[in-house]
Amino acid sequence: MLYPTHKRFGILWGLITFPIGVFLGLIPIISFEMDAQEVFMVIICVFIGMRGALFGAEFPDSGAF
């Protein structure tokens, strides 16, 4: 797998983790009754999750040399 494919799969897996986090109760569901702390928590979870997925996708396969 080359770099662009790694990035695409990193984005895909990063996006897949959010519905799982909502299902497990780790990420609050977005609603109009949310207070500022819950909105901030959702934004932080999205940012850290996507940054983590993209950071992990930057490493090449070990057999790609």
Cβ(44)–Cβ(35) below 8 Å: no
Q: What is the pLDDT of residue 63?
A: 58
CA–CA separation, 18 and 24 (whole Å): 10
Q: What is the pLDDT of residue 11?
A: 84
For the chain, give every domain's residue range. 3-57
Name the band, by pLDDT with cuts 50, 70 and 90, for residue 61.
low
- Asked if pLDDT for residue 51 goes beyond 80, the answer is yes
Cβ(21)–Cβ(44) below 8 Å: no
Q: Of 9, 44, 13, 12, nearest to 26 (Cα)?
A: 44
Q: What is the pLDDT of residue 41?
A: 81
Q: What is the pLDDT of residue 24?
A: 85
pLDDT digits (tens, 9 = 90+) for 3-41: 788 788 888 888 888 888 888 887 777 778 888 888 888
